[in-house]
Chains A and B, each alone.
Chain A
Amino acid sequence: MTSLDLSTDRPARRHSLSLSIGLALVGLNVVVAILTLFWTPYDPLNASGGRLEAPSLLHWVGTDRLGRDYLTQIVIGARTALIVGTGAVAIGASIGVTLGILAAFATRLLDDVMAATLDILIAFPTLLLAMLVVAASDSASLWSAILALGLAISAIVARLTRILAKRVLRQDYIIASRTSGTSWLGVVVRHVLPNIWPTLSVNFALQFGLAVIAEASLSYLGLGAPPPNASWGRLLQEAQGTVYTAPVGAIAPGIALVALVIGMNLLADGLRDVGDPTRGRTR
């Protein structure tokens, strides 16, 4: 029967490489984010040079149109991104996995109702839900965005968990396990979670990236947390207007964002192999 291991013919060495690069990228982001709590290259709120200066030894990525150091704003953006991604995935995973497992075990009617409700929640795309929450709360804050993104993620995670768990529960070894006296909770812990984890973890990483991207999009649309909360999305939106005179400004925050998201994805690729019960025995 189909195992959920998706990487049967990849050389094992690549995974440890993924893990290392992922750890390095995410680790760099974490270190930089913590560093900004104590020290930044320049004052993020006040001008430290001329307007729209080109990159130089003093200002590695140049300055923005108010003469503020651009690198300072980007490193503060790293902190924002990390908070958003972690918070949203934590909320989404805890609600989503619980609901998904419950739905997989539920009676047919209850399962249908849960599936329909999840469809509704997914029908409100992440970004729209976040837009609504921001619109509903008069003052846009980082926390309302995180909560909205977390709720949106939880629906996606729940739906995926439900489908995956049902696939596992249909297997013969579940019957065998039940017959030998394992409780349903034991089945969930010993069989369902380890089997669905490889696919789930990939999804969590994707969702982390999507949450970071969604927050950036909100900021880009002008619905993000207001200044002085530096967000890569707002930086990019401001830089779009000056892309001809200061192209670095429209590139640097994007690279930082992409590096973090790719790092998370690579990290998950590596972690997937550690958490996969079929690996090691088959090869």
Chain B
Amino acid sequence: MLRPSDERNSTILAYILRRFAILILSLLIAAVVLFVLLRLLPGDPANALLSVGADQQQIEAAREQVGSNLPLWEQFLRFVGSLARFDLGTSFVSGKPVIEEIAARLTVTVPLALMGFALAVAIAVPLGILSAVKAHRWYGAAISTVSQLGIAIPVFWVGILLVTVFAVNLRLFPSGGYPRRGWQNEGQVLYALALPVLTIGLVMAASLIRYIRSATQDVLGSNYLRTARALGASFSQALIRHGIRNGAVPIVSILGIELATTLLGAVVVERVFALPGLGSMLLLAIEQRDYPNVQGVLFISTLLVLLIGFAADLFQRLIDPRLRERATGAAT
């Protein structure tokens, strides 16, 4: 006979396994979507290897090399097989392995997204809760108004405005660019990323504040909070003991989506500040019709986004008292 805690653990384990199966299934669907999308792009990928006026024999050789002469299902199997081995091919343009270039680009994009995300959470959580709890005070209303303004501003415009203020007028930070040696020169990297991180952090914080404010208001109007107050808990005690746990549940999944979006939403910010990240790699690859690069960036970014979603779901499951209760009930 299982003790309650064992039972709970095995339920969570079952959930993790089920969610992992969904993750794998998701990756397969992603592979299909990717495969179909790339076949929709105009032109034979073999063309990229050929010079103008290539004869039939050269065309055949190129198609052989790229694999576009094979039947579709065989191309698909090859495609999935190589994805599973993280073999993303070589770039048509630079001739280097795609995965290497992606790895180099990730050292720009991932820190940029994570620092922007951290800044946004640091701004949004306290301000969001404050604006809900103190909705009647002037600063509560002011926070809501500013966050409304914030979600309406395109990220590149925020970037341009920040450049105008901090790079052109105050001359505090560079208006763009990235040190050639990358993270070997940490100080310079952080210096180069300061304005991009600020841009992402501010824009993301504005939308997060709204969600956190809504969740807090949800909690404030709830019966369990009223009950806790009736039982003698002070307002802040009740909010901390019951409010945060319940209010955090919807926020976790929104945080997951936001982090994922930021990761590739960085494409615009990278363009504004001329950063050599994943987004600018994709933009360049689309312009140059460099299919292996397009495909590689999309696969890796999809993988990252799915992993973030997976983590967010597990975390949400662990902290939500209601979902946990239901899962236990279903298992017994």
A joins B in a complex: yes
Number of B positions contacting A (CB below 8 A) = 53
Q: Which residues 283-309 of B sit at the A interface, judged by CB distance below 8 A?
A: 283, 286, 294, 298, 301-302, 305-306, 309
Given A258-B153, A262-B149, A8 contacting B217 (CB threshold 8 A): yes
Cα separation A136 to B298 with both chains bound (whole Å)? 14
**Closest partner residue, chain B, to A218 (CB atom):** B268
Q: Which residues 100-158 of B sit at the A interface, judged by CB distance below 8 A?
A: 135-136, 148-149, 151-157
CB of B172 within 8 Å of the partner chain: no
| Residues B302 and A127 in contact, CB atoms below 8 Å apart | no
Q: How far is the CB of A104 from chain B (nearest CB, A)?
A: 15
| Residues A220 and B260 in contact, CB atoms below 8 Å apart | no
| Residues B29 and A120 in contact, CB atoms below 8 Å apart | yes
**Closest partner residue, chain A, to B214 (CB atom):** A6
Interface string of A162-183 (1 = CB under 8 A from B): 0100000000000000000000
| Residues A117 and B298 in contact, CB atoms below 8 Å apart | no
| Residues B156 and A220 in contact, CB atoms below 8 Å apart | yes
Cα separation A163 to B30 with both chains bound (whole Å)? 22
CB of A83 within 8 Å of the partner chain: no
**Closest partner residue, chain A, to B253 (CB atom):** A163
CB of B194 within 8 Å of the partner chain: no
CB of B232 within 8 Å of the partner chain: no
Interface string of A239-252 (1 = CB under 8 A from B): 01001100100100
| Residues B268 and A9 in contact, CB atoms below 8 Å apart | no
Cα separation A209 to B154 with both chains bound (whole Å)? 9
Q: Which residues of the partner chain A approach B286 to less than 8 Å between Cβ atoms?
A: 131-132, 135
Q: Which residues of the partner chain B approach A217 to less than 8 Å between Cβ atoms?
A: 154-156, 268
Q: Which residues of the partner chain A approach B265 to less than 8 Å between Cβ atoms?
A: 125, 127
Q: Which residues of the partner chain A approach B25 to less than 8 Å between Cβ atoms?
A: 113, 116
- Which residue from A2, A120, A220 sits with its C-beta under 8 Å from B30? A120
**Closest partner residue, chain A, to B203 (CB atom):** A213
Cα separation A117 to B214 with both chains bound (whole Å)? 28
| Residues B42 and A116 in contact, CB atoms below 8 Å apart | no
Q: Which residues 58-79 of B sit at the A interface, judged by CB distance below 8 A?
A: none
Interface string of A113-146 (1 = CB under 8 A from B): 1011101101111111001100110100000000
Given A131-B282, A220-B268, A258 contacting B152 (CB threshold 8 A): yes
Candidate in A3, A123, A257 with the most chain B CB atoms within 10 angstroms: A123
| Residues B268 and A5 in contact, CB atoms below 8 Å apart | no
**Closest partner residue, chain A, to B219 (CB atom):** A2
Cα separation A131 to B164 with both chains bound (whole Å)? 28
| Residues A116 and B22 in contact, CB atoms below 8 Å apart | yes
Interface string of B31-55 (1 = CB under 8 A from A): 0010001001110000000000000
| Residues B153 and A125 in contact, CB atoms below 8 Å apart | no
Q: Which residues of the partner chain B approach A9 to less than 8 Å between Cβ atoms?
A: 135-136, 217, 220-221
**Closest partner residue, chain B, to A7 (CB atom):** B217
| Residues A131 and B283 in contact, CB atoms below 8 Å apart | yes
**Closest partner residue, chain B, to A232 (CB atom):** B154
Interface string of A193-218 (1 = CB under 8 A from B): 00000000010001001000100110
- Which residue from B160, B264, B309 sits with its C-beta under 8 Å from A128? B264
Cα separation A280 to B37 with both chains bound (whole Å)? 50
CB of B261 within 8 Å of the partner chain: yes
| Residues A124 and B302 in contact, CB atoms below 8 Å apart | yes
Q: Which residues of the partner chain A approach B186 to less than 8 Å between Cβ atoms?
A: none
CB of A96 within 8 Å of the partner chain: no
| Residues B257 and A122 in contact, CB atoms below 8 Å apart | yes
Given A135-B286, A138-B42, A236-B160, A262 contacting B221 (CB threshold 8 A): no
CB of A88 within 8 Å of the partner chain: no
Q: How far is the CB of B21 from chain A (nearest CB, A)?
A: 9
CB of A271 within 8 Å of the partner chain: no
CB of A275 within 8 Å of the partner chain: no
**Closest partner residue, chain B, to A156 (CB atom):** B257
CB of B234 within 8 Å of the partner chain: no
CB of B185 within 8 Å of the partner chain: no
| Residues A262 and B217 in contact, CB atoms below 8 Å apart | no
**Closest partner residue, chain A, to B39 (CB atom):** A136
Q: How far is the CB of B187 from chain A (nearest CB, A)?
A: 28
Cα separation A258 to B157 with both chains bound (whole Å)? 10
| Residues A236 and B156 in contact, CB atoms below 8 Å apart | yes
Q: How far is the CB of A109 from chain B (nearest CB, A)?
A: 11
- Which residue from B153, B223, B246 sits with its C-beta under 8 Å from A254? B153
- Which residue from A4, A213, A244 sits with its C-beta under 8 Å from B154? A213
Candidate in B25, B41, B221 with the most chain A CB atoms within 10 angstroms: B221
CB of B10 within 8 Å of the partner chain: no
Q: How far is the CB of A59 from chain B (nearest CB, A)?
A: 22
Q: How far is the CB of B138 from chain A (nearest CB, A)?
A: 13
- Which residue from A115, A123, A261 sits with its C-beta under 8 Å from B306? A123
CB of A233 within 8 Å of the partner chain: yes
Which 3 residue pairs spanning A and B have beta carbons closest together?
Answer: A261-B152, A8-B221, A123-B305
15 chain-A/chain-B pairs, Cβ below 8 angstroms: A2-B218, A6-B217, A9-B217, A10-B135, A117-B29, A119-B309, A122-B257, A123-B301, A138-B42, A213-B152, A220-B154, A236-B154, A247-B164, A258-B149, A262-B152
A112-B18, A116-B26, A244-B168 given; 6 more Cβ-contact pairs under 8 Å:
A6-B214, A7-B217, A120-B33, A122-B257, A136-B40, A236-B157
**Interface, chain B (partner A; CB < 8 A):** 18, 22, 25-26, 29-30, 33, 37, 40-42, 135-136, 148-149, 151-157, 160, 164, 168, 207, 214, 217-218, 220-223, 246, 253, 257, 260-261, 264-265, 267-268, 271, 282-283, 286, 294, 298, 301-302, 305-306, 309
